[in-house]
Amino acid sequence: MGTIKNYLSLIKFSHTIFAMPFAMIGFFLGLRTFNTYSYALVPGWHTVIVPEIASQKAIPTSSWDLVIRFLLVILCMIFARSAAMAFNRYLDRHFDAKNPRTAIREIPKGIISANSALLFVIVSGLLFVVCCFFINSICFYLSPVALFVVLFYSYTKRFTSLCHLVLGLGLSLAPIGAYLAVTGVFSLLPVLFSLTVVFWVSGFDIIYALQDEEFDKSQQLYSMPSWLGKSKALHVSEALHLLSFVCVIAAGLLGQFGIWYWIGVCIFAGMLIYQHSIINPNDLSKVNLAFMTANGIASVVFAVFVIADLFLH
């Protein structure tokens, strides 16, 4: 049990709360799209038969298949994120050992060996690909691309201050991937939700990076705070969160969502405003409150209202 706890701590399993809700949005959005254009797997949703979509082998063929696919999407999220986070810890282990804030992490403290962490990355990555194989062919073919993106992020702090956007890109694959798991086709609406995630995550990652401004400079690591300073970096974060809000609005209009969606939008926007209201460049004592609590609430509550709207609207 202690070993499991150590690995959950290594990958910060609690941070799954950021992308997982958006994966659920993508999945249920795909389910509504699928049920609108083929035949109903969910009672009460109207249906119109469209042969070119109904004949897709990528889509579920029964309610049981849908349940299995839902579980596989969750496993994909867990395995991909676990691989990415463990790889980040493995690659940054020497920097983490030098940074007082991160020296207590599992690899620097010797709780988990570097080789064990790397093996964990490999196993998690393989399990992610296997799960994609059992979902459908398009998810399987794209799985190496997705894995590359989420792993590549760990290198970016070594050469670009845009590393925060790469992290956002990695997490943004969640709604698109979940949508593909159900429909087997791309669509603009899940892409807008993915863009929401890109700007939202990169914005709050900049807030989190404020804590390491001086350390990053001393180690020649790249980030918005180490490049622009805390105040300007916060302005960039605000601009990114504004773009995230614009994408949420665009998705709502394109998807013709109802009242429940817009209530979720108001709460999501409120959490964005709140986290910026409590962060001061000269006082970082509330960074974790802004980073974890505000954004955790934003993603979960927003997803609940979006999915409620998909069922009730």
What CATH number is given for 2-312 in this structure? 1.10.357.140
Please report the pLDDT score of residue 62 as a whole number. Answer: 65
Look at residue 265 and give its three-state secondary structure: helix
Judged by DSSP in three states, 283 sits in strand
Q: Domain spans of the chain? A: 2-312
Give pLDDT, residue 260. Answer: 97
Single out the residue of 200, 144, 133, 147 nearest to residue 172, CA to CA. 200
pLDDT of residue 45: 45
Q: How far is CA 9 from CA 82, 104, 109, 129, 137, in A?
A: 11, 11, 13, 23, 33
pLDDT (tens place) for every residue of the chain, 313 residues total: 558 888 877 877 777 788 999 999 999 999 887 655 444 455 444 443 344 444 445 566 567 888 899 999 999 999 999 999 999 999 999 999 999 999 999 999 999 999 999 999 999 999 999 999 999 999 999 999 999 999 999 999 999 999 999 999 999 999 999 999 998 888 999 999 999 999 999 999 999 999 999 999 999 999 999 999 999 999 999 999 999 999 999 999 999 999 999 999 999 999 999 999 999 888 888 888 887 888 889 999 999 999 999 988 7
What is the DSSP secondary-structure string of 34-73? HHHHS--SSTT------HHHHT-TTS--SHHHHHHHHHHH
Calculate the alpha carbon distances from 279 to 59, 236, 254, 274 in Å: 45, 14, 33, 9
pLDDT at 50: 41
- Whether 224 and 99 have beta carbons less than 8 Å apart is answered as no
Q: What is the pTM of this model?
A: 0.90
Structure tokens given for 104: 């207590």
Q: Looking at residue 137, what DSSP letter applies?
A: H
- pLDDT for 154 equals 95
Residue 154's nearest CA partner among 144, 140, 171, 166 is 166
> pLDDT at position 84, please?
94
Q: Quick one: pLDDT at residue 59?
A: 60
Confidence at residue 54, expressed as pLDDT on a 0 to 100 scale: 44
Distance in angstroms (rounded) separating the CA atoms of residues 41 and 49? 13
Residue with tokens 């070594």: 158
Residue at token pair 């990958």: 11
